[in-house]
Amino acid sequence: MAQKSPAKKAGTAKPKATGAAPIAEDGKTVYAQNCLSCHQADGGGVPNMNPPLIKTDYVLGDKDRLIKIVLNGFNERVEIEGEMYNNVMPALNHLTDKQIAAVLTYVRNNFGNKASAVTPVEVKKARGK
Amino acid sequence: MKLKVAFSSFIPLIAAAGLLWYNANKPLVANMVNPDADNAGLKLPAGFGALRAAENVGKARHLAVTAGGDIYVKLNRPKEGKGIVYLQDANDDGKMDDTKMFGNYGGTGMYIKNGYLYASSDTEVFRYKLNENGQVTNPEAPEKIVTGLIERRQHESKSIVVDNNDNLYVNIGAYSNSCQEKDRTPGSMGRKGCPILDSAGGIWQFKASKANQTYKDGVRYATGLRNVVGLDWNQQNNQLFVMQHGRDQLHDLFPALYTVQQSAIYPAECMYALKKGDNAGWPYIYFNQDLNKKIVAPEYGGDGKKEGSKEYINPAAAYPGHMAPNGLLFYTGNMFPEKYKNGAFIAFHGSWNRAPEPQAGFFVVFQPFKDGKPSGKYEVFADGFSGSPEKTASGRADHKPCGLAQGPDGSLYVSDDVKGTIYRIVYNK
């Protein structure tokens, strides 16, 4: 299921290993590398901590708001369908426009979701604001 | 003559009844409750059984059992506006059949000591006076013992325990994973002289019977503890023991230093035996249970191998990572076999931070003790809360064990904060 991160040889790799592998641009790989450990393989999140990505307005609704959560992180208590979620999501603005578009398109069309794709142009526009 | 015979034969009966009364906290086969046919879905060692004492009580965190066998349960979030559940068993069959609710706040802590029920929200500690039947006399007007504790969403629960000298111990969890400049952000380094430790990341000691205490009235009893949920007072040592939730995300934050697999099992979840003034080392170090060493955290210059300072205390015992020890109980009852006496039960709520590796935990373990110290490896005592191995691996558990309490007859009670089941585990042989 999950893809392994490119830099994973503990003990041999040096800190800040960069350029070791090509940057993954398919949504599933970007999800596995950046989202899965909190939002989980099934997108269901973790009760009381990490919000689910399944059929919520945050995922299926306003694309600009969704893109900005990835760019800026999310650091507030949120209630989704009666459950509270508390954990901190870091800003993931080191991801490229293409990566963010790919991962959000993936999230909006998996875990039982069905919604329009997110394009790199939309990400670029949100980042520029 | 007839009457005399009847009377004299009555005397041993009275004596026997008196003996029964006197031995009320010893197991009495005649009084044993019956386990559920399926042992409440749990897998237990031979001779043990379990029943569902209550179901659907809410997000049940810690719980306390009165001398008469009634149960108080703290709910993480109020249900119908009430955050404490009081359960009574009218016919002594072990199934709680009367439910009352009070207290308008959510939280975790629930503890009975010296005729008081102590309860915590995520910012305050209250106590309620119990009458001789163990019933709260002032449900709407508790004494506020501590107020104004920090709650910044992460590690917000305030676990509590009271010692034998009128001291209250409160966990104040760190509102951070590893005190990074930017919390949970890959590569972000640790804040120098982590300022969180001034008001959180430790155990604070207050007076158990003084109203309206704040930070200035308390003492930072032990520091360098990221987050503690399970804690108990060890009566043999007269000492506080706590279970720390170790830091998350070694791989996510420092992928060049840790594999996904290493990140799933490290660092250890640690049991600490605390003395006043102890420092367990968070966020500067963590404990690697396989190297059996304190290791410098990557946020503070560690490389996964560099050993941490000796100024930080060693754990009394260490367990695999991320299993979330939410309940700790030293067993002092007489019902279970001798080996359990004065040993520790630990409720591991279950992991989330092992993904994409399989999740683990969702069980109650027994840690043998000898002379007040952990002795030998822990053993899984009660398993099966999750519902199936697949639900354990995915983390989508049906039930998650959270709080532990001992009943007057020596039964072990376990709360579940997913569906609100209260389990009662008994020994029948």
pLDDT at A82: 86
| B60-65 sheet: strands from edge to edge | B60-65, B71-79, B82-88, B98-102
Does A10 map to a domain? Answer: no
Cβ contact B255–A5 (<8 Å): yes
Q: What is the CATH number of the domain that holds A104?
A: 1.10.760.10
The span from the CA of B324 to the CA of B352, in Å, is 9
pLDDT tens digit at each of 429 positions of chain B: 344 444 444 444 444 444 444 444 444 444 689 999 999 999 999 999 999 999 999 999 999 999 999 999 999 999 999 999 999 999 999 999 999 999 999 999 999 999 999 999 999 999 999 999 999 999 999 999 999 999 999 999 999 999 999 999 999 999 999 999 999 999 999 999 999 999 999 999 999 999 999 999 999 999 999 999 999 999 999 999 999 999 999 999 999 999 999 999 999 999 999 999 999 999 999 999 999 999 999 999 999 999 999 999 999 999 999 999 999 999 999 999 999 999 999 999 999 999 999 999 999 999 999 999 999 999 999 999 999 999 999 999 999 999 999 999 999 999 999 999 999 999 986
Does A15 map to a domain? Answer: no
pLDDT of A20 over the 90 cut: no
Alpha helices in B240-303 (DSSP H): 250-253, 260-265
Does B11 map to a domain? Answer: no
Does A6 map to a domain? Answer: no
Q: Range of A120's domain? A: 27-128
Does A101 map to a domain? Answer: yes
Does A74 map to a domain? Answer: yes
CA A44 vs. chain centroid, Å, equals: 13
Does B17 map to a domain? Answer: no
Q: What is the CATH number of the domain that holds B375?
A: 2.120.10.30
The span from the CA of B318 to the CA of A37, in Å, is 23
pLDDT-based confidence at residue A21 (cuts at 50, 70, 90): low
Does A3 map to a domain? Answer: no
The span from the CA of B140 to the CA of B105, in Å, is 12
pLDDT of A16 over the 70 cut: no
Cβ contact A8–B251 (<8 Å): yes
Compute the nearest-CA separation of B196 from chain A (Å).
16
Residue B375, number of CB atoms within 10 A of its CB: 12
The span from the CA of B111 to the CA of B158, in Å, is 12
For residues A28 and A2, the answer to whether their CB atoms sit within 8 Å is: no
Does A106 map to a domain? Answer: yes
pLDDT at B326: 98
Q: Chain A residues with CB inside 8 Å of B154's CB?
A: 86-88
Q: Which residue of A has its CA nearest to B352?
A: A46
The span from the CA of B18 to the CA of B113, in Å, is 27
Does A82 map to a domain? Answer: yes
Six-digit token pair at B48?
A: 């043990």
pLDDT at B235: 96
Chain A residues within 8 angstroms (CB to CB) of chain B? 1-2, 4-5, 7-11, 13-17, 32, 36-38, 40-42, 44, 46-50, 73, 77, 84, 86-91, 94
The span from the CA of B79 to the CA of B288, in Å, is 40
Cβ contact A88–B259 (<8 Å): no
Compute the nearest-CA separation of A76 from chain B (Å).
8
Q: Which residues lie across from B171 on neighbouring strands?
A: B203
3-state secondary structure of B62: strand
Radius of gyration of chain A (CA): 15
Q: Range of B176's domain? A: 39-427
How many independent structural domains does chain B possess?
Answer: 1
Cβ contact A15–B252 (<8 Å): no
Does B19 map to a domain? Answer: no
- In a 10 Å sphere around its CB, with 0-12 CB exposed, 13-18 middle and 19+ buried, how is residue B348 labelled? buried
Residue A122 CA neighbour count, 13 Å, CB half? 18
Q: Chain B residues with CB inside 8 Å of A90's CB?
A: 182-186, 188
Q: Which residue of A has its CA nearest to B305?
A: A11
For residues B412 and B331, the answer to whether their CB atoms sit within 8 Å is: yes
How many independent structural domains does chain A possess?
Answer: 1
Of A13, A41, A94, the CB nearest to B356: A41
For residues B331 and B340, the answer to whether their CB atoms sit within 8 Å is: yes
Residue B132, number of CB atoms within 10 A of its CB: 8
pLDDT of A12 over the 50 cut: no
